Amino acid sequence: MNRYMDEIHRARVERGGLSVWWLGQNGFVFKTWSGVVFSVDAYLTNSCEELGRGLGLNFSRAVPVLVPPEAFDVDFFVCTHSHQDHADPATIQGLPKKDMEFIGPGLACEIFEQSGVHPKHIRQVYAGGKQSFDDVTIHGVFALPTDDTDLNHLGYVIEVKDGPRVYMTGDTDYHELLASVAKMEPQLVITCINGGFNNLSHWEAADLVRLIKPRAAIPCHYDMFPDNQQDPERFAAALRYKAPDVAYCRLEHMKQFVFRV
């Protein structure tokens, strides 16, 4: 057992809480108070290095692989879209699949099946739709695609029974429709801030947080690739200016963060 996965499975979460571990990029592991463990956009290899080389970019990991695919033990493997740093075939192929369930939009579901996941373990979600498992409901919400290689981008509002609601932007360009998530009243926002390749900039992310009015905001998608990085303190400064009542939470890789209602 990998020491980080061992920590996750041993962790106790009080009722009303949700524990979060950051894998890097847009990858997170969550554990509910009932013991359900699920991931979003877990990128656990260095497969994007070759992709970047073909584009003349440095997409080699700046964050080590903290949990290898063969040790990654979650109940539900969720992806926001099909880009390789979010639904990575090399990661999926290496997982100890067993009874693991896979959730994502259409193109991500195609990657799941192409990577060896049996169709009976694949669940498709779409903007305005939802998938529920145990004490968790994942609502698909609008995200604006960043290029034409995948027009199925989603954000998610993760709703835990008797626990918090978390909005994850996923990869998205800025659009006023993003703020429609405010009606679902998420208490925590996890947002990309890198600004590269049409993702939200630190300034746009702070403006979105201002409109949604959560209790706290976590930046992500700024750390993984040398040619797609951002200083998260710029987001912190933008947040102080645009949404001073929202707490800024900067996570450390694979260090448990607990959020309670």
What local confidence, expressed as pLDDT, does residue 1 receive?
74
CB atoms within 10 A of CB 170: 28
Task: Look at residues 102, 217, 236 and name the one whose alpha carbon lies nearest to residue 169.
Answer: 217
- Cα distance between residue 173 and residue 202, in whole Å: 12
For the whole model, what pTM was predicted?
Answer: 0.98
Sketch the domain layout of the chain as residue ranges: 3-12+19-248
Helix, strand, or coil here: 158?
strand
- Tell me 144's DSSP state: B
Alpha carbon separation from 178 to 5, 156, 229 (Å, rounded): 33, 11, 23
Q: Which residue type occupies 248?
A: Y
Three-state SS annotation for 59-126: CCCCCCCCCCHHHCCCCEEECCCCCCCCCCHHHHHHCCCCCCEEEECHHHHHHHHHCCCCHHHEEECC
Is 3.40.50.1100 the CATH classification of the domain at 3-12+19-248? no
Q: Residue type for 188, please?
A: L
Three-class SS state of 197: helix
pLDDT the model gives residue 162: 94
| Helix, strand, coil percentages in the chain from 3-state DSSP, rounded to 5 | 30, 25, 45
26's tokens: 């847009």
Q: Residue 18 and residue 51: Cα distance in Å, rounded?
A: 34
Candidates 8, 6, 79; CA nearest to 44 is 79
Tens of pLDDT along the chain (261 residues) come to 799 999 999 999 999 999 999 999 999 999 999 999 999 999 999 999 999 999 999 999 999 999 999 999 999 999 999 999 999 999 999 999 888 999 999 999 999 999 999 999 999 999 999 999 999 999 999 999 999 999 999 999 999 999 999 999 999 999 999 999 999 999 999 999 999 999 999 999 999 999 999 999 999 999 999 999 999 999 999 999 999 999 999 999 999 999 998
